[in-house]
Amino acid sequence: MPFLKDNVIYLAIKIHKKNHPPEYKSNYAVIQVPSGVLGRFVMLPKLNDKFLYMFLEDVIRMHLYMIFPGYNIETTYSIKLSRNADLMIEDEFSGNLLNKLKKSLKQRKTGMPARFMYDRRMTDDVKNVLQLAFNLSEKDFFPVGKYLNFSDLVHFKNPLSPKYELKPFKQLNHPVIDKYTSIFEAADEHDLLLHFPYQTYDYVLRFFHESAIDPEVDEIKTTQYRVATNSAVVNALIAAAGNGKDVTVFVEVKARFDEENNIAFADKMRKAGINVIASIPGLKVHAKAALAIKNSSKKGKKKSYAFLSTGNFNEKTATQYADEGFFTSDKNITKDLEKLFMYLEIPIETFNFKHVLVPGFNMLPVLEEKIKREISNAQSGKKAQLIFKLNGIGDKEIIDLFYEAGTQGVQTDLIIRGICKLRPNMPFSKNISITRIVDRFLEHSRIYVFYNEGNWEIYLSSSDFLTRNLRRRIEVAFPIYDKSLINEIITILEFQLRDNTKAKLLDKNINNIDKKTGKKKYRSQQDIYKYLEIKYKM
């Protein structure tokens, strides 16, 4: 039998020879649909000014008589096998983890079957033959429709281009930064907040390039989780090492589906003289942090500058993902980051983080303390409110805290894009609303907001509230202390909570339901862009 490749469409076909009696045994065949070579969609001649297309597999179905001459085609069904993509590393705690990952990557495409998708119209005899032939269990089977791999529609070309397409998006500059000759000068005077993709990611690339060429910068430390192909950030770090700077990069080679890319970059940076730390056994580093340390001979003192983000150091996805980026020279934050990088280099040390939140150290205790403070305020008759924007929430301990807050009268507004195990609108989840926004840009930022009797406390973070993030990863949540920036974030969150065009509410069964809020239409991503455009007078 042929080996079924991972996530490739095949046709399962039942045939029998012509001119044979009905009791003659049928034959079965499997054909790969070569969509990766020919393209999934076949354009036909126009008819009455209409554009006509066929799926490639339908073209093959129509011509099976040419592939099987002398046979009648009884039935044809689409099938697809998804294989287990987890990298199986038996021992992550001894030996060379990088070499083990490289070996494991080769096995990904040949992993054990995880899900066998098939046309639900398939007859039992065909299903039984496939089950036996490919050694599948009944629990592997997953019925679907006639067509598979709808992600291929991303490559469907618009025959009327550019008609019906989104207008090109002009990213905004940050005029406060533009007043200064360097990012360092701007960060000396202000904490600087950037909202991607509304504002350009070029400032982040400038930060790394300036760090590479500034003669006063002695050290650069950064994490790397998912970076762009031909990454400008990596190229700047290599240039910095070439200029004699001490560059340390923590590369998380266990970033799912980016392992190969990250290993290649790690090898490239190591050859350039960069101190590369490739993964911590048993932990995944998901934090997005960079530190440039200047040693001014004129002033005779050392000063650190930080860039922190809710998203990856990836200039390509920064045009599609809605994230927050933050420049600061605040010693409270940079000292904590220096401790974090010390831990990444020597992960047996214990550190006391005073301002940033790090899982395994202080994140869960501080979150619990601040949520319980809102509960106490509500119980005292004071206004109490929580706003959390996350990609996912699934940790039981955190969910129970939200349930307690809601039932005690704390207004709890959650914006959750993906996984959600918290159920709103139940007796145990009063005062909790969950909004989901799907629009032009992928909502990716994580924001934690505590009302604190009107003295808003805000953290931006790399961490969702899934058990893996809070307990098995190194993440960073960093505070925003500047009041004008706090007000800016609150305003943006208010735009998202009022969105009734691209946002849905979740009901008690985690189903999407329409917002029933007046006649006026609000669309948060457009509102955010206009707000920033007006505020910064671009």
Using DSSP bridges, classify how beta strands 321-328 and 301-309 pair: parallel, antiparallel or unpaired. Answer: antiparallel
Q: Report helix, strand or coil for 9.
A: strand
Q: Which of 195, 286, 355, 444 is catalytic?
A: 286
- φ, ψ for residue 313 (rounded to 5)? -80, 75
DSSP 311: S
- Tokens 């189903």, residue located: 511
Contact 257, 448 (CB under 8 A): no
Q: How far, in Å, CA of 188 to CA of 285, rounded?
A: 29
Max alpha carbon distance in the chain (Å)? 98
- CA quadruple 336, 342, 344, 346: dihedral positive or negative? negative
Contacts (Cβ under 8 Å, ≥6 apart) of 145: 119, 120
Contact 30, 11 (CB under 8 A): yes
DSSP 69: T
- Tokens 């390509």, residue located: 316
Respond yes or no on whether the N-terminal peptide bond of residue 197 is cis (omega within 30° of 0).
yes
DSSP 318: G
Say whether 195 is catalytic. Answer: no
Contacts (Cβ under 8 Å, ≥6 apart) of 390: 414, 415, 416, 417, 446, 464, 465
CA neighbours closer than 13 Å in the CB half-sphere of residue 346: 6
Contact 183, 210 (CB under 8 A): yes
Q: How far, in Å, CA of 195 to CA of 201, rounded?
A: 9
Contacts (Cβ under 8 Å, ≥6 apart) of 281: 92, 93, 97
Contact 134, 160 (CB under 8 A): no
Contact 290, 208 (CB under 8 A): yes
Instruction: Provide the annotated active-site residues.
Output: 286
